[in-house]
A and B are shown apart, each in its own frame.
Chain A
Amino acid sequence: MPELLDDRIGVQGARTGPDGAMGPGIGLLSAAVERSAEAVLVLDASTRVVWLNPAAQRMFGAGCAPAIGATLREALRCCAPERGPVLDAASALCTAVRRGRAVDDLAHAAFRPDGTSYPVLCSSRPVRAGGRLAGSVVTIREAAAPDACALRRARLVAQTAVAVIEQDLHGTVTDWNEAAEHIFGWSAADIVGRPAALLVPPGLEGEYAEIMACVRRGEPSVPIETRRRTRAGAIVEIGMTISPLRGPDGTVAGAVQIAADIRVRKRAEHDRHERRRSIAMASDREKLRVARELHDHLGQDVTGLLLGLQTLEAGVTGPSARQTLRWLKALAGKVGEQLHRAAWELRPTSLDDVGLVSTLETHLGEWSRRTGVRADFHHSGTQPGGPATLSEIMAYRVIQEALENAGRHAAASRVSLLVECHPDLLRLILEDDGRGFDLARVDPSVERGLTVMRERAALVGGRVTIETAVGAGTTVFVTLPRLPDPGAPRGRDPAAGSDLSAGMD
């Protein structure tokens, strides 16, 4: 064996013995290597095993004895044929050896004669001769048995219900636990070594790239809710974070992705939202029914009453009878007006009969008359027709609340209401020139109003944003998607035919 060292590759250490030349020290060295508890393999430049010590023979002998001349990869595969991530470490070792790079303590596994495996750590040093790579010396030592705490942690990662995915800086998956397999359908063996981006569904590449850029800078991502693609192509909703993993020197060496399946929670959320929507629809239908009852039936009877009283007038001559008649007429008139106001406040039937734009304009006019604040209205786009959708109803309700707020708190001299009816969304802007407020310190009663507005908008997936500052007035921006809803068909006055924009402004 020592001849082999000298003749075939020439170990540098052997040449620099204590006396500076090859001498008796070489015998001592070879004996030490022979007896070492660490496995030592000497490889040539093509990574084939040219020599190995008895410890290496023991270590590898349990699997299948690698003949001299096998490649390192074959030897290692033989050593741990099943373990995906470990093999990945092995290929890192092979790559280092092939390229003549030094590596230390790469984790691998070896087998005892009884077939059980134990962890080992592999290191390699290149051997150069005349400036070129002549081969390598690979040493493999038994890793210290992990302590109970580390084992427990490893078990935790392996068995937790959240997916734990380790990846390197190129985004290649390097470790993958069982929960990840359960959620995404890929087994560790199939995905380790492949890009983690395989999980990113079309359209979310940008989000993923942004997170990874952030992680490479060493910042953990904020927890986000997003979607991922399973091996079968299905989309799962997950909550996840990606955090940087630092090497021993503190530089970012990879990333760990923690992901939890949130489909059940999302479904529950969706169900709750649907329930709120259907309650809102039912409540609106009921209000509409009562409003129609007041407006169309009781209101008509009052009309009949008024007409009858008017008819009487010609025949009534006595001054006291005339006075009573006038009083009755005034009373019936007041009842009619109150009926109309009550019905309107309950639910303007004109939302269905004429449309959102006209209803808002009328409401704004009423509000302006009541508060004495000048109101300015502008709309664009075609007024929605037909039975009001929940989006239209909520648009009206949000503006109604916003106007109430403005009337109570703003002390404005002027408000503007702008309504844009886009094909797929409604956009409303209510601006006042009043005293405004500090969004960081909102009066509780204003806060309640804002919450009501936000909840109403959220019911149809819309949003409300407020722009205000003390002394700078308040602007409420409302954006609501125009969703068709499964509401029961409701009656509609044909006077509100097709296009109303001709009559406006």
Chain B
Amino acid sequence: MVTRVLLADDHPVVLAGIRSLILSDPEFEVVGEATDGEAAVRLAGAQHPDIAILDVSIPGLAGFDLVTRMVAEHPRMRVLMLTVQEDRSYVVRLLQAGARGYLLKRSAGDELLRAIRAIIGGGIYVDPAIASKLVGQSLSAGSGSRADLSERELEVIRFVSQGLSNKEIATRLELSIKSVETYRARAAEKIGAKSRAEIVRFGVGQGWLKEL
């Protein structure tokens, strides 16, 4: 069975490139091309494609809103987002909105057909260049317990998590900066935090940081 594809991109060169690549494989058929978001929604209604390949930043209805609308109106249609944007937060939000794939334009030459097949096959495709960019985040902080902390260590680590400098903490608690450093190091070790960010996450877990 031939897979029916809808294309939406406002760059004619890219549009032409995608079309020729897709048409080079007899498995696929291009059923419509749009250069703005509204046209893409209309074409999807008229043509019932199996998959829509959407540029994230086309004019008019675009990005997050476009994905949400396409998915709501055509629940059976799959959506693959094509973008130059290499930010992780883009991916997360677009996938949450219902997109099934996220492909960088610079990988499209090699990966487009593979991505389409993966998505049609029921999978989710995230560009490997993006996946490898994720900051190594340790979520382990907070595994330690505050029960082991002395009163002083608790105070110091609370202020650290709230963003105070050692000097500010020293002033507030009437301690020397050296003592603050020592309490902080001991407390960090007890709660298993290896960085300031982990101390902050521990603080969040303890409810020490007010919501911004």
A residues neighboring B (CB under 8 Å): 295-296, 299-311, 314-315, 329, 332-333, 336-337, 340, 350, 353-355, 357-359, 361-362, 364-366, 368-369, 374-378, 380-382, 414-418, 420-423, 427, 429, 431, 433, 465, 467, 472, 475, 477, 493-497, 500, 502-505
Contact = CB atoms under 8 A, between A and B. Distances in A.
Given A302-B106, A307-B20, A493-B62, 10 more contacts: A303-B84, A303-B108, A308-B17, A366-B133, A376-B197, A420-B212, A465-B165, A493-B56, A503-B89, A503-B93
Contacts of A423: 212
Interface string B2-17: 0000000001011011
A300 B20 CA distance: 15
Contacts of B90: 354, 358, 495-496
A303 B85 CA distance: 13
Nearest to B63: A495
B135 A375 contact: yes
Contact of B112 (A307, A376, A414): A307
Contacts of B194: 376, 414
Interface in B55-70: 56-57, 61-66
A309 B109 contact: yes
Give the size category of B's interface with A: 35 or more
A302 B23 CA distance: 20
Interface string B152-164: 0000000000010
A460 to B, nearest CB: 19
B94 interface: yes
Contacts, number: 205
B136 A374 contact: yes
A307 B18 CA distance: 6
A306 B106 contact: yes
Contact of A495 (B94, B106, B137, B195): B94
Contacts of B108: 303, 306-307
B206 interface: no
A372 to B, nearest CB: 11
B124 interface: no
A350 B87 CA distance: 8
A472 B178 CA distance: 10
Nearest to B82: A303
Interface of B: 11, 13-14, 16-18, 20-21, 23-25, 56-57, 61-66, 84-90, 92-94, 96, 105-106, 108-110, 112, 133-139, 163, 165-167, 181, 194-198, 200-201, 204, 209, 211-212
Contacts of A465: 165
Lowest 5 CB-CB distances: which A-B pairs, in order?
A: A307-B17, A495-B63, A304-B13, A306-B109, A381-B212
Given A377-B197, A414-B194, A497 B85 contact: no
A306 B17 contact: yes
A358 B87 contact: yes
A349 to B, nearest CB: 8
The majority secondary structure among interface residues of chain B is: helix
A152 to B, nearest CB: 50
A297 to B, nearest CB: 8
Given A377-B137, A378-B201, A414-B195, A300 B86 contact: no
B100 to A, nearest CB: 16
Given A307-B21, A365-B133, A503-B89, A299 B106 contact: yes
A495 B84 contact: no
A477 B93 CA distance: 30
Kindly name the residue among B16, B17, B66, B204 whose own CB sees the greatest number of chain A CB atoms within 10 A: B17
Given A304-B11, A368-B136, A376-B138, A354 B85 contact: yes
A496 B90 CA distance: 7
Contacts of B20: 307-308, 311
A477 B197 contact: no
Contacts of A427: 163
A404 to B, nearest CB: 18
Nearest to A479: B163
A357 B167 CA distance: 27
B180 to A, nearest CB: 10
Contacts of A315: 24
B198 A429 contact: no
B133 A332 contact: no
Contacts of A311: 17, 20-21, 23-24
Among A336, A369, A422, the most chain B Cβ lie within 10 Å of the Cβ of A336
B64 A495 contact: yes
B111 to A, nearest CB: 9
Nearest to B57: A493
Contacts of B89: 354-355, 357-358, 361, 496, 500, 503-504
